[in-house]
Amino acid sequence: MNIPSQISTLLAGIILTLVSLWYGQNHNLLPIAASEAAPLIDQLFGAMLTIGTGIFLLVIFVLVYSYFRFRRDPDDLSDGPPVHGNIPLEILWTAIPAVIVLGISVYSFEIYNTESGMNPMDHSMAAHSKHSHQVAQMKGSAIAAPLIAQVDPVAKDAEVRQNAATDAIEEKIPLRQDAPAAGNVAPRAGSIPATGQEPLVINAAGMQYAWLFTYPEEIIAGELHLPVGRPVVMNITANDVLHAFWVPEFRLKQDAVPGRQSEIRFVPTKEGDYPIICAELCGAYHGAMKSHVVVESLEAYETWLQSMKVAQTNASDRAIALNPAEMTDSEYLAPYAQEAGVTPDLLHQLHPMS
């Protein structure tokens, strides 16, 4: 086989390495990193992109060079050299990819572990924390959420049951809180134990076509507000079909599965307003199922929380005064739908499980 001289091979190798390294670090393909996990994942992507660029350039070089250098004349009917194989070379190019993918596997494992992904003890403690149970007991909180916000527990339960949709959710889709299958499901993104801070526990419920977030003090919101730097544990479920909670700037995603509870943890690190996207096909208006997460200072977050409390107290009083039992679901939900980010035409698509 016609092998190029050692010097030119060495030079080509150096150029290839430099170009790959440069592109791996300067690709500009990802949005800003706004969670503790994000820079780690970006590093991993950068490393994989560096290796990938090198391999791609090598293959393209061989293809293009061969295409022009080894083209035969139309009249040349001779064959190429009868090289059947080369055992050392074959071992080499089996070993190199094997080492590369094992290296990437180990690196990925390390990143995953740093996100506490492999720490079930950590999870079980958080899952049994006070907030977690307190919020999770509100089965079917999603659709009737504004109603149940500020009333006493007994009345709350009774009113929840007045809503047919909530009833269906409560009785037909059993949430498997703490079930073994549903227990260890999350990428534990963010170094929650290390910060020493009590995590903010939020319940997220996906439904066609909105997210509803339930805060510890039974504040219900269609958008997410988070104080910067505080760990968040989010319990996720779905009321109807599969959804997936994804914030690209956090680099994290977790499916919302009806009948199961999954969990995602992260520490938002940069103030800003980021999109929350449903990444799992959930119906005709899947593309419109959007919300946003506002990462803000602790003061701004507290202010927002207070304003929500006031708004929901008023809303709840009004709802009770209007006697929701005499209203249709649509009439009852209308005032809250807008707040939850659900537009009227989306609401028409909302239907209980058949």
Alpha carbons 27 and 21: distance in angstroms, whole number: 10
Note whether 347 binds other proteins by CB under 8 A.
no
Q: Are 307 and 219 in contact (CB under 8 A)?
A: no
Sorted by sequence, the CB contacts under 8 Å of residue 221 that are 6+ apart come out as 212, 213, 215, 308, 339, 340
Note whether 21 binds other proteins by CB under 8 A.
no
Of 81 and 196, nearer to other proteins (C-beta) is 81
Of 104 and 294, nearer to other proteins (C-beta) is 104
Q: Which residues pair with 204 in a beta bridge?
A: 213, 236
Sorted by sequence, the CB contacts under 8 Å of residue 45 that are 6+ apart come out as 29, 30
Binding residue for other proteins, selected from 13, 39, 153, 275, defined by CB under 8 A: 275
Binding residue for other proteins, selected from 78, 196, 299, 325, defined by CB under 8 A: 78
| Minimum separation from the CB atom of position 202 to other proteins (A) | 18
Residues 280-299 that bind other proteins (CB under 8 A): 280-288
**Counting beta carbons within 10 angstroms of the beta carbon of residue 43, is it exposed (0 to 12), middle (13 to 18) or buried (19 or more)?**
middle
For residue 239, which of 216, 276, 209, 200 has the smallest C-alpha distance? 209
Alpha carbons 208 and 160: distance in angstroms, whole number: 19
What mask, x for binding other proteins by CB under 8 A, covers residues 145 to 164? --------------------
| Minimum separation from the CB atom of position 225 to other proteins (A) | 20
Task: Report residue 119 CA to chain centroid gap.
Answer: 19
Residues 315-334 that bind other proteins (CB under 8 A): none
Residue located via tokens 């080509």: 12
Sorted by sequence, the CB contacts under 8 Å of residue 89 that are 6+ apart come out as none
Note whether 305 binds other proteins by CB under 8 A.
no
| Minimum separation from the CB atom of position 16 to other proteins (A) | 14
For residue 249, which of 48, 76, 31 has the smallest C-alpha distance? 31
Note whether 234 binds other proteins by CB under 8 A.
no
Alpha carbons 231 and 190: distance in angstroms, whole number: 7
Note whether 80 binds other proteins by CB under 8 A.
yes
Residues 178-217 that bind other proteins (CB under 8 A): 181-182, 184-185, 187
Q: Are 236 and 186 in contact (CB under 8 A)?
A: no
Of 149 and 233, nearer to other proteins (C-beta) is 233
Residue located via tokens 């290296």: 103
Q: Tell me, by CB under 8 A, how many residues bind other proteins.
A: 96
Note whether 346 binds other proteins by CB under 8 A.
no
Of 286 and 309, nearer to other proteins (C-beta) is 286
Residues 235-264 that bind other proteins (CB under 8 A): 240-242, 244, 246, 248-249, 251-255, 257-260, 262
Note whether 18 binds other proteins by CB under 8 A.
no
Residues 84-123 that bind other proteins (CB under 8 A): 84-86, 89-90, 93-94, 97-98, 101-102, 104-105, 108-109, 111-112, 115, 117-118, 120
Alpha carbons 129 and 114: distance in angstroms, whole number: 22
Of 53 and 150, nearer to other proteins (C-beta) is 53
Of 59 and 125, nearer to other proteins (C-beta) is 59
Region binding other proteins by CB under 8 A among candidate stretches 129-137, 151-159, 274-282, 314-322: 274-282
Q: Are 156 and 150 in contact (CB under 8 A)?
A: no
Binding residue for other proteins, selected from 5, 26, 75, 76, defined by CB under 8 A: 76
Region binding other proteins by CB under 8 A among candidate stretches 12-20, 83-91, 132-140, 320-328: 83-91
Alpha carbons 169 and 238: distance in angstroms, whole number: 10
For residue 38, which of 326, 325, 295 has the smallest C-alpha distance? 295
Residue located via tokens 């009770």: 320
| Minimum separation from the CB atom of position 219 to other proteins (A) | 26
